[in-house]
Structure 1
Amino acid sequence: MELEAMNSREDWPDETEEAKTESPPKTCCDKIHETISNWILPTNQRDTYLERANCLPPPIFIISVSIAELAVFIYYAVWMPQKQWITLDTGVWNSPFIYRPDKREEAWRFISYMMVHAGVQHIIGNLALQLLLGIPLELVHKGHRIGLVYLAGVIGGSLASSVFDSGLALVGASGGVYALIGGYFMNVLVNFKDMIPLFGIFRILVIITIVGTDVGFALYRRYISHETGQKVSFVAHFAGGLAGMSIGYTVFSCFDKNLIKDPRFWICIAAYAAFVIFAVLFNIFLSPAP
């Protein structure tokens, strides 16, 4: 009997070895990355992300852009003689940042308009969206990819506005924000089967609600509202969203691959470049704007 007991004990697993193979407890940073991966990535990509997840570099691009936009808004709302908290007026209209059709030869305005916003509601909406979505996206895809998508939306937004709404000025970072939303939306849509169905439906409904509300408010302000101040274009919303649904989707769908080797990326870049060239030529030779 004793011999049988000893033999049975030899078959028992070594408790010290079990202790060695136990995974270390999850840190707060690990839990954050796990939550982010659930929101941003489909199931088949989460393990790859979690194996290499870290907070270095931090989401510098989206935070820096947000701070700069907030600083410019505070400058025009607090320190300028024409303090403008609510709407676009003389001070912002004369800003070197705003895109104006009569100043379109100053090429930097096609990008710098993202720094200026038409009131406190405008800046709060854009900052909230780009921080809530942009920080998780940048932690996964890193700043150079987020910057590419964001700026593609900003430039595409101003060029589209100069072509399709050529008589109006343009302010705000909506082009860049909608590029992030468009890229994220396409990834949720394409990878819907790899996500928890109800969770995927919830995300799509949230995106549609936010975009519908924001675009509805922009259309109201453009065509219905009789508030004083200058009217601004809303075309950048749509153009930024299209940039995100093409370039953004390609960038966000291959976070663990070399983007340069993805033929989809070059197809999107070629289409985007063709639009940019057309818009530039339109502004030089065909634009009815002064």
Structure 2
Amino acid sequence: MDVVLATSMLQVGVDVSRFGLMLVVGQPKNTAEYIQASSRVGRDARRPGLVVTLYNWSRPRDLAHFEDFAHYHATFYRQVEALSVTPFTRRALDRGTAPTYIAALRQAAYEHSRNTDAQHVDLYGELAQQVEQRLLERADRVGGQRAQDYLTERIEALKDRWEERRESGGVLGYRKEKKKDTLVTGLLHRADGSRWDELTVPMSMRETENELNLLLPGGGNFVDQPTNGGPAWHFGAAGGKDAEGTGGEGGDGGAQVDADEYGDAAEAAGKGRR
């Protein structure tokens, strides 16, 4: 085929190496969508790609982008919209503390920057304290004392694990590598579907949470539909009797969910249930 007509759904993972020319009709609603869609061409180093954006003079959005075309395209990674993530909750800190803290500490000084410098970073020195203070001040501005306490807890747990890895012997690096005759043990490990711990670092925003597939029958309220022999639908407080038997040994079925993850109203309701 010489031409492929597509909607904006083209952005979600189409990887055809021979695509070389794209005509974008109208400016997409957000920058992330624009970047994702336009990156579908020129995916082969031997075949350069060209993207042509066709604006509509009667649309104010298109006119605004036309007038600021050069600057917008020179800086459009800075224009990507913020993600709708609630900062400094426990679950957000589970995912973000290690990459943020370690990246900041590693880049704060040259003597921390090389891979094997992970073996010698002073986690309680002046520089580490400055990095922690900057992060804790940010947490306090965004979420108050509770957010600061959560972040302090995560940083202390991270430092404890870091020290444990040092004491386990060998040469410790930020990542695993073979260096001449020395095998460098990696401090961090990628999110690969295994159990997430204090030293897990996501390499993509798609790794922040596991995927969950839901199969819902059509028509009416799905909660009232037959369960085909399975247990009936039931909603209740997490961590109580409702969760028994769902996680099994080593699972999360009996894990207590912090009510304050969901706001003061949910916290009050959770206390009432307990």
Which of the five TM-score ranges fits, normalised by the shorter chain? Answer: under 0.3
Greater strand share, structure number: 2
Greater helix share, structure number: 1
TM-score, normalization: structure 2?
0.28
Q: Which has the higher contact order (CA 8 A, sep 6+)?
A: 1
